[in-house]
Structure 1
Amino acid sequence: MVRTPPRGVTVIIRLVLAALLAAVALTPSAGAQAPWWEPVNRPAPDSEINVSGEPFRGTDSQGKVRGFVDAHNHLMTNEAFGGRLICGKPFSEQGVADALKDCPEHHPFGLGAIFEAIVADPDGHDPVGWPTLKDWPSYKTVSHQQNYYAWVERAWRGGQRVLVADLTSNAALCSIYPFKDRGCDEMDSVRLQARRTYELQDYVDRMFGGAGKGWFRIVTTPQQARNVVAQGKLAVVLGIETSEIFGCRQVLNFPACTKGDIDRGLDEVYALGVRSVFPCHKYDNALCGVRFDSGTSGAVVNAAQFLRTGTWWTTEKCTGPQQDNPIGLAAPNALIPAGVVAPAYDPAKRCNTRGLTALGEYAVRGMMQRHMMIEIDHMSVKAAGRTLDIATQARYPGVLSSHSWMDPKWTERVYQLGGFVASYEMDSPAFVEQTAATSALRRQYNVGLGFGTDYNGVGSHPSPRGGVTYPFRSFPDGPLVDRQRTGQRVWDINTDGGAHVGLVPDWIEEVRKLGGDQVVNDLLAGAESYLGTWAGAQRWPS
């Protein structure tokens, strides 16, 4: 028989139960789960994200994915150029204060940032990072971290679904730069950066509850990428952009690599997960001639080429409508040995005499055999034209132009192959103008649009313009985006421009205000088009 408790005891029991129920209602239980897009153990303190709402996932009625694609970013450049050119890290096990700190030589007034002083900021900067971040990163910065993981997370939360992380370095720049803590071998840097990218994936996974649960997913096939995007996460593709890929520099016009080096190199980087490669970058190598830099940067790069290879850029009249960039300035005397005279250039001769070498053709065909994507940006007109000829003859679609470094007159040939073209993330008026010029071609070939941010790539970024009202939706049914806060610093696209990768959604809103919803719709179709090009390369020959 069950006895009934005395009335007073019953009242006490009911009061205790009511208190327990109230506590449960106010405090999540240990077993309660956060929404899939929110971390379960983000370190504190840390940067805020300032994007609210569930990231969209799934495919449309035709099975197509949706989302923005950053086709050219440099997540791990802090490990490149001798390890001290880019200050700060995209993540740190010791937390944000360690990740976002300036280089020691920049203290106390930022005047030790020699490369930044030459390129962008001769007056120095406040070198304090977290939590104040008073002067960096900025849209002008070339030596400070712009890819902190939480900023990448903000770009993902704001609609980006594909990120191409190009592993990069430059032996000549590394050799010239006085501050370094490691050697200048480009392939050693590539290996380290690849490892750090996988470590970042593990870091995000731990934050989101375990292996495979994070939003940052390195992918090695287009189908993997499609599955990741369909889950609403960020598909990260590894690429390589270096000047001496596989050690293939040229010295006094003689190649420093062999076909065997190329085969071993391609096999190695493929095993690392790399799926796109630039055969050449910045200065002529044993594979191809480059598309020149212009102005002051062109003069510096030409001097670096001379110091590294013993040869200067050489020019000739172009034979077709495509042209390389004008060189303009002569190399500065301060960078070249005494007694050496830098060449002057005839403005009527705009094309590099160097094209795709025999070793370059071997490398291009080797990439095709491995179903890798060929980046033709930074190739000279002659080299790009020959690469497109090879791809056309083989009907190979895996050709990319990821950040406006090919002559735009090649665009239709890339589309005819089934390739993908992205525009540099430039100032929004210029971006709208450039994309408008190719709008008819995109309609004709039914392709989406990408952008290449080039963050941490020692490039320029969108300057402040104004016109964005916060909060906003990055597209009609997208998440709500507010001003981004990191530590004591609040970032606003209207006053800060493209200071870091987390402001990509804000820049897209600026583009929408100028170019209309159609430009954003084209950008939302970018992920599908990029994956379509990759899938075509994977199926080849078919």
Structure 2
Amino acid sequence: MSMNRTLPLVAVTAVATFLSACGGGGSSATATQDTSTPATAQQQPVTLPPTPSKPPEQPQPLNRYSFANGCFTLSSEGRYLQAGTDGYQLTTSAGEATAFYMKPTALGRYLLVSNYQRDPGAFGDIELLGISDPAGEFLDDSGNFIGEVSYLVSGLGDTLNLVLDPIAPLGGLLRELGESLDGLGDNIGEINVQPALGKVDKASDLAVWNVNPSEGERFTVASQVTGLLLTATDEGLTLSSPSLEDDNTRFTLASAEQCASYPEAHVSADVEEQGPAIYLREVERFRNVPGLDNDDIFGYVDAHSHISAYEFIGGRINYGDPFHKFGVDHALHDCAENHGPEGLTGVVEQVTSTPGPHATRGWPDFPYWPRNNSLQHHQSYYKWIERAHLSGLKILVNHLVHNEILCQLNPQKQNDCDTMVAIEMQAEQMHRMQDYIDAQNGGPGEGWFRIVTDPAQARDVIADGKMAVILGVEASKALNCGEFLNVAECSREEIVERLDRLYAMDVRSLFPVHKFDNAFGGHLPDLSDGIGIGAVLYGGNLLETGHPIEFEECPEHEHGDTSNPVADALQPLGIFDQLLFQIDYVGERFPASPEELAEYDPRRGTDHLCNTRGLTDLGFFLIEELTKRGMMIETDHISRKAASQILDVTGARGYPVINSHGGWGGTEDLRNQVAAQGGIAASFGSVRGNWVDQLTRDGNRPRADEFKVGPFGGAPFASDVNGIASLAGNPGTPDQETSLYPFTSVDGRVVFDKQLTGDHAFSLYEGRGVAHYGLYPDQIADMIANSDRSEEQVNDAVNQLFTSAEAYIRMWERLELATQ
């Protein structure tokens, strides 16, 4: 499949590439069950239809991916690695061998951990096999290698044998090689670097080892940075050139016990052996529902998320990563790295959550963040997403997101502001995330996070017990096609070329317009009143396009109901208010305060004003190009006129479209038309009665029976996670914890307890609401247990949510048929 590519970490230099060993191999799956924080309640078994028995699986031979998160000893020719007081040595006694915990940093690459200890509330003391950096010349603060490979090779040549002799026979050759590499060997001057193989106390690139297959069932262990091979000789533990590979550089890795650990967030779930349900017929509530097929998928959809937003609008706006090669304590460490001491330079945080200083520390105790309304802190770490997946999340749509003007205004940016560059970089990061999760689970294709490019692939992935991830794009200047003073900044040829580039990176969904007018059409400016979002977008549009929004009275039949109380409650200001008003150097081009900006709002005194701009000629051309490729079209954020034009064009050919962003899809009439034409309408995730109302409304929108899953329309939700938008709160109080936790999933196969990350047990009821993505299972359980709606309404809401995965894939299948 096209998504099973390996996107390697950025090469350090051509020398490192020359020295690094290559390898390949198969894969073996590992279990997703988490018993580290077992639930205290007994699961209620569900009687399921009999399934054919499978023959017992035969043990698979070890490959370079098999060691993920396992415990192993390393031996070569009867010599075992052993951790000493100050370093590592060799022993001929198997009973004295050190067991290493092998933490993958990427596919086939590992940290070899010999010891890890941590007191509650503190970071751990760790011991790793690696190469020291005493002068601090080779690594940045995050442990990434930035030094000169030639000098490092030279230094290692002089300190090759740590056990008996500081200069092994190969040392002189390596120094000669290092000093010959582009003349860089002595560029550090008089600093006595002296890198050495031994015990290091921090994860870094110098502690990463490539495990590659060799003869028989033995492996070589090569330094990622230098390419030199770990070598066990009678004289001691050394490093050798890859060209000198022999029996002394080939290691047997044997399974061991009593291993060191490595920090990681928990899914805090106890999963039955067969895993979460895949098909509706496996779940008691759907077993006797008429009109359902045996292969209808059980599960829900997040139709709008931003996992990759930690890199958007220049980077350093959000703090935290969805994954990190060195683990959770690096991914969710301390937001002072981006937001300064006490978080005081985090502009968005200062105006949207609790103004003033806040505790910046994340791991291990998370005293302040994440929380549902803390908008500059990452909320979708991969283990948190995995927890949601175990509760039935079968499809996750991740929108690669960017806004060029906000990137230009962002004083903290570290990434390119060009839209295509920013979007392609985020797409690459999502493939890296897939590879990283594969690495944690036993090799390519073995992870639960699978980027898919067509509905058949999505069905296959879900049938394999995994989660289908769809990549979309939500950018104000989509395909770099802005306009200034009504002149388009792209041509038809450029649209085709850029769309093909995104398609090749597995993007399958796109917003033609977002927030500002662009070369494709007008945007939706009229969701808010007074000094709200609409007025701010009016000013932002002036900065982006050089002209104001041109308004007209909305057509009578399009007035509809534009209210969105949930979105208004969750997003009273929005990112555009937050950034445009807070960045000083916008200067005289933009009003200085919301009150001043309100004076420029041409909608004052009217109830309904709509953008005069519909689709442009290039906009119609884009819609045609999207339909040719079978790509999903998102109709949110676009003017009502343009949305109606898209629905006219696509409706005539039976090509469904998507409203994934709640009230940003325009009027209820427009959202009903999306559903009536076989498309998907989703609302923001909410809480209790409000969420019941939204799910039942979206699932019961008028649609033909052919567009239903049995009697259900299917209602996804939109998290908008990391899109600088609040997640849902929760009115529960701490005394309600015991009435919810532990709870059983809707399919009856998973028991969840409070989610544990480091020392923090996250609860819905600690005042943070849906603090991170892993609490959506809790929010669903809370909606079922604590909604004030009738039992019939709650059941309908649950049924609409858990048929949304089947409804979404059927929509995608109809879309594909319309291209033929």
Asked whether the equivalents of residues 51 and 158 of structure 1 are also in contact (C-alpha less than 8 Å), the reply is no
- What corresponds to 1:78 in structure 2? 310
Equivalent positions of 1:148-163 (< 5 A) are 148-163=381-396
- Tell me if 1:97 matches 2:97: no
Matched, 1:538 2:816: yes
Could you report, residue by residue, the CA deviation over 1:387-410 in whole angstroms, capped at 9, with x for unpaired residues?
00111122212x111120212222
- Bigger mean CA deviation after superposition, 209-218 or 474-483: 474-483
Distance 1:157 1:242, change over 3 A: same
* 1:73-94 residue CA offsets vs partner (Å, 9 max, x unmatched): 1111111111111111111111
Query: For the aligned residues, what is the CA RMSD?
Result: 2.6
Greater strand percent: which structure? 2
Partner of 2:626 in structure 1?
A: 367
* Alignment deviations for residues 323-380 of structure 1 (CA, whole Å, 9 cap, x no partner): 4969999996967543777523233343112211111111011100100010001111
1:172-251 to 2 correspondences below 5 Å:
172-251=405-484
5+ residue gaps, structure 1, are: 1-31
Q: Deviations over 1:485-522 (max 9, x none)?
A: 11121211123211111111111122223252221121
TM-score (norm: length of structure 1): 0.88
Contact in 2 for aligned 1:317/1:350 (Cα 8 Å):
yes
How far has the Cα of 1:260 moved from its partner? Answer: 1.1
Name the aligned partner's letter for residue 100 of structure 1.
L
**Structure 1 residue 418: Cα displacement:** 1.5
- 1:182 Cα deviation after fit: 2.2
**Matching residue within 728, 731, 736 for 1:465:** 731
Candidates 356, 367, 380, aligned match of 1:123: 356
Counterpart contact for 1:286–1:359, Cα < 8 Å: yes
CA contact (8 A) 2:681 2:698 kept: no
Structure 2: unaligned runs, 5 residues or longer: 1-27, 35-66, 71-102, 104-261, 282-292, 592-596, 788-792
The one-letter code matched in structure 2 to 1:219 is V
Aligned length: 511
* Cα shift readout 1:447-471 (whole Å, capped 9, x = no counterpart): 2110010101111211122266111
Match for residue 588 of structure 2?
338
**CA deviation profile, 1:242-301 (whole Å, cap 9, x unmatched):** 111111111122211111111111111111101110001111111121122535444443
Q: Summarize the alignment of residues 459-538 of structure 1 with structure 2, pairs less than 5 Å apart.
A: 459-466=725-732, 469-495=740-766, 496-513=768-785, 514=787, 515-538=793-816
653, 661, 668: which is aligned to 1:403?
661
The correspondence for 2:609, drawn from 343, 350, 363, is: 350
Q: 1:307 Cα deviation (Å)?
A: 1.9
Is 1:454 the equivalent of 2:482? Answer: no
> What do the CA deviations read for 1:176-199 (whole angstroms, capped 9, x no partner)?
121111221121111111111111
Task: Say which SS state the counterpart of residue 516 (structure 1) adopts.
Answer: helix
Match of 1:311 among 547, 551, 555: 547
Say if 2:276 is the partner of 1:56: yes
The percent of aligned pairs where both chains have the same amino acid is 35
- 8 Å contact kept, 2:370–2:378: yes
TM-score by length of 2: 0.59
Could you tell me which residue of structure 2 aligns to residue 276 of structure 1? Answer: 509
Tell me what 1:436 maps to.
696
Measure, in 2, the Cα distance between the counterparts of 1:491 and 1:541. 46
Match of 2:347 in 1: 114
Partners of 1:317 and 1:348 within 8 A in 2: no
Match of 1:41 in 2: 69
Residue pair 1:316, 1:350 contacting (<8 A) in 2 also: yes
Q: 1:268 to 1:167 in 2, by over 3 A?
A: same
Tell me whether 293-302 or 320-329 shows the greater mean CA deviation. Answer: 320-329
Give the AA of the match of 2:588: A
Q: Select the structure with the greater relative contact order (CA < 8 A; seq sep ≥ 6).
A: 1
More displaced stretch, 286-295 vs 417-426: 286-295
Give the 3-state SS of the residue equivalent to 1:166 in structure 2. strand
Could you list the runs of 4 or more consecutive aligned residues of structure 1 that deviate by over 4 angstroms after TM superposition? 36-40, 323-337, 339-342, 442-445
Residues 426-445 of structure 1, C-alpha deviation per residue, up to 9 Å, x if partnerless?
Answer: 34432222333345436864
Contact kept, 8 Å, 1:375 with 1:400, in 2: the verdict is yes
Q: 3-state SS of the aligned residue for 2:314?
A: coil
Q: 1:317 to 1:126 in 2, by over 3 A?
A: same
Task: Specify the SS of the correspondent of 2:740.
Answer: coil
CA 1:541–1:170: 2 relative to 1, 3 Å: closer
**Aligned counterparts of 1:313 and 1:125: Cα–Cα separation in 2:** 39
1:206·1:214 contact (CA, 8 Å) conserved in 2?
yes
